[in-house]
Structure 1
Amino acid sequence: MANGIIADRNRVLTAVVDESGWSTAAPASNAQVLPLKLTARSTVAGTDGSPTVLRGYFDARYPITYAGLFKTNLKQSGRYRLRLFSDAAFSDVLFDTRDAVTGVDRRVMPSLYDWRQLRYAAPNLLRGDLPPEDYALYPSNVHVVVPLVRAASFQWDIVGSGFDPATGDDVDFNEVGYAWASDSVQFEINYAYGGNDGWNPTDEIKRTPGGGVYVEPGVGYRSSEIPLDYITKLDGDSLFDLSKRVSWNQPVVWLPNVDSAQDLFRYGFIGQRRDSFKKTWKTYQLDGATIQIEEITT
């Protein structure tokens, strides 16, 4: 069993964002729109004393159970803090990711590996995150699952230099491709009935006369087929409504297991629905369904 969520209706789209500290050529408002490659870029990288701040207020108070940052250039060792407020003045805090006991902010990359998977003297030995050469293979996304609050504004504080995915070199600015805050449909997934999280290369294999073979590289994407064989009728109805809202063209966020930061990084993504949504009537109180989602990569 695992507790998954699908989020839609991103409230950041219509928020009024603060442009302070962001480049005029790549303003903070870029993080409100797709495509992901149209990034917002800070003027300098965030530090402990002066973090990069992405904040805005909504046109009303909205229920929020999920927030995220997509297609960032944050390093694994970077840290972030998210706060949600009940007012547009960013003063009355409803939710804060900062550890209330230690005062430490969350790392961009959680520890992904069991100690038995790590190699002596490897660069990721102490933190347990990805080997540096593998990190650029994943989009540097940040996922935050929020206990239900009705928020009027949000603020992200980002600390740490950025990196160039092409070279791995440090850069003195932070980038965010897309920011998200919304409610979500949360449900229990029974993986005993199947389901898959996949990686789909789009490379094209070319064959030439005489038996030669070469490959045209493509941009791969993650996908998920989510089995919902036995969910409550209430969840089934909510997913039916969501499917009508987003159709195949609107973005959603898929998180497979809200209790595992490791699963959220590897298998969670922003994407779009694929295939038809069909709800199966199981009993008076239980429904079944299958949802397919493909990752948005650009």
Structure 2
Amino acid sequence: MTTTATFIGLGVMGYPMAGHLARAGITVKVWNRTHAKAEQWAQEYPGTAYKTIAEAVEDADFVMTCVGADKDLIEVFEGDGGIIANAPQGAILVDHTTASAGIAERLAEAAGHRKQGFIDAPVSGGQQGAENGKLTVMCGGTETDFEKALPLIDHYARAVNLLGPAGSGQKTKMVNQIAIAGLVQGLSEALHFAEQAKLDVRKVVDVISKGAAQSWQMENRSGTMIDGEFNHGFAVDWMRKDLGICLEEARKVNASLPVTALVDQFYGDVQEMGGRRWDTSSLIQRLRKFR
């Protein structure tokens, strides 16, 4: 039998992720707050656009979501017209939004009352990873639901792991963002120092990237940081949202995140510079401005 999957949220991530499912031969239905975007998707990929969530999910085996934040998840999942009330019993709900662990736990409990499965499955890899089908997916939920959803997630992922019960995926994504924030700030300071010291920055990167300083950020972003190009998809606005989630969860679990809190403030400076839609590597611009 053909698997039916509904994808809710067709932003820069969800649009290509839903496309990978459709090209894999899965029957895909889509819904987006702006219906024209859903219609555009249906013209580009084999699948159907729906005007209401209720219609889109009514016979879905899986419902994938990728929206903005906690409030958006409440809007699409809850209420008489939402996913939980209208998806069938036995459906597996997979949320790829980066959100709080608390909302994941809340939605998992509500879905369970309707005999639906729920997996919080935030992703890392950005727009490029979504387009290339090479995302890292961090999951929270039951082993049974995870095993059912894994074949679908594999269509747009290069790495998928179950980290624990509902909420564990979101907490793991927080770990990811905390690590990235520190790495990008460190790389920004290193490149800025090299510039101010009148070194050949590209030669410096070539040398140190062969040793202990090497990182994904250095390999993939140092060149564009040197050139002042910040159009790689994951915007400063989104990073601030994510770091806010990290800092709130840190208060709940009594974790100390002094560097993360500081970098969050630095991203605020970048926003004030007009860089709200620059990608996260734009931290270096703050140093160049305030030198």
RCO (CA 8 Å, sep 6+): is it higher in 1 or 2?
Answer: 1
Q: Could you state the TM-score of these two structures normalised by the residue count of structure 2?
A: 0.28
Structure with the larger strand share: 1
| TM-score normalised by length of structure 1 | 0.27
Relative to total residues, which structure has the larger helix share, 1 or 2? 2
